[in-house]
A = this chain, B = another copy of it.
Amino acid sequence: MRSVSVIGIGETQMGRFPARSLREMVSIAGEKAILDAGVEKKEIQALYIGNFVAQQLCGQGHMGSQASEVLGLGNIPTVRTEAACASGSEAFRMGLIAVMSGIYDIVLVGGVEKMTHRNTETVTEAIASAMDYELEMMEGFTFPANFAMIASRYFHEYRNVKREMALCAVNAHHNASLNPDAQMPKEVTLEAVLSAQRIADPLSIFDCSLVTDGAAFVVLATTEIAKRLGRHRVVEVIGSGHAGDVITLAAKKSITSFAAATSAAAQAYKAACLGPGDIDLAEVHDCFTITQIINIEDLGFFERGHGGDAVAEGVTALGGKKPINTSGGLKAKGHPIGATGISQIYEIVTQLRGDAGPRQVRKADIGLTHNLGGTAGTCLIHIFRGE
C-alpha cells in the first residue's frame, strides 16, 4: 500500500444560504481545493462525493456526475457515498483506498449539503432517513429524541453531566468565534446554555448541532506527489478506520459507548501505530453535546464516565492538553451533513499546516477526525500526521 497525503483543501462559509445552489457550493469549495493543491484539473483521476439528503430536499441525486460537470473534470469516474452524517468520510475513505492501492494517483473528495431552503418539518423528516423508517421514524423517533435517551442512559450509568455538556457548547462557540467559516461565531455563556429552551429532555437547544448549507473538498495524492509539489507542509493520512453497527437504537448492545466508534478507533490506531495519547487534537462528531462526551471516551482519550470531567477541567478547550473541535464542531461551525466529514479534515489539515490563525493549536503534529452516521450505525476515523 502506498502512503497518501492531503495536498489541497477548500470549504465554503458554513451557514444559512437558502439561495445558494448545490452547484454553487460545489464550485466554490471544489475550485478552492484544486487551486490549493496546485494541480491541473486534467490530473484529477476520480471524484468521490458525500451527500446525505439532496435527493429529498433538492430533488438531486447522481451528484458525482453533477459535481464533475460543475468542476469541468471531463470523463473521470465519480462516486457518491451516503451513510447519513458520515457520508463525507465514506467518500474520503473510498478515495483513500483507491490511491493507497494504486488505482489512481490524484483524486478529489468532497461533500455538500443544502438544507435551509426547506421548512423545519421537511428537514427533520429528511434527516430521520438516517434511522430505520419503519421501526423508528414511523414510531415518532427523531434524532434529538434518540440522543436524549442516550444522555439519560449515560446519566443513569455514570452521573448527570448536564453542566459538562453545556461546557462542550461553550467551548464550541468560543472556537467558532475564531473560525471565519463558522455558522455561529459568537460566544455563549454557561448560564445561557443551562437556561436555554428544552428540546428533548435533558437536551436543550444549545446541546444540538446546526442545520447548515455548505461544502468542503480535499485533494488526495500519493505522499510522493505531495512532497514533489512542496507547496504545503505534507499532511499524511496515517490511519483509517471504518466500522458499523445496527441501525436501530433498540438493537444496540450499549448506547453509552458506540461499538462502531471503538472498532473504527482500534483500526485507525493500529494502522497509525499510535495510541490515544499521541493525538494532539481531534475533530469529533458532536451532533449533540452528550455525543462529544461519549466520543472522547470511545476514542480512549479519557476513561469511561470521565469525559465530562476532562471537559470541566478545560482539557478539551482550545488551550487545553487535548483540544477538541477547534473549528467549532457540528455545534457551532455547523453541520452541513454530507460535507461534515470533509470539513473536519479541512480543520485538521489547516491546524497541522499551522494556518489556523487565532485558533491555532501550539503543538499540532498529529490530528484525528471522528465522524458518526445516524445513531452510530456508521463510524469513520482518520489520523493525520504533519511531516
Give the interface of A toward B (CB within 8 A): 1, 21, 23, 46-47, 52-53, 55-56, 58-66, 68-69, 73, 75-84, 90, 94, 97-98, 100-103, 125-126, 128-134, 137, 242-248, 251, 259-260, 263-264, 373-374, 377-378
Contacts and interface: CB of A to CB of B under 8 A. Distances in A.
A126 B61 CA distance: 9
Contact of A247 (B66, B129, B245, B377): B66
Contacts of A80: 81-83
B101 A97 contact: yes
Nearest to A84: B62
Nearest to A253: B75
Contacts of A243: 75-77
A55 B58 contact: no
A74 to B, nearest CB: 8
Contacts of A46: 242
Query: Secondary structure at chain A's binding surface: helix, strand, loop or mixed?
Result: mixed
Contact of A75 (B101, B102, B125, B245): B245
A83 to B, nearest CB: 6
Nearest to A80: B82
A106 to B, nearest CB: 16
A55 B58 CA distance: 12
Contacts of A59: 125, 128-129, 133, 137
B65 A373 contact: yes
A136 to B, nearest CB: 10
Contacts of A98: 97
Contacts of A246: 65, 68-69
A244 B52 contact: no
Most B CB atoms within 10 A — which of A58, A83, A131, A373? A83
A280 B47 CA distance: 32
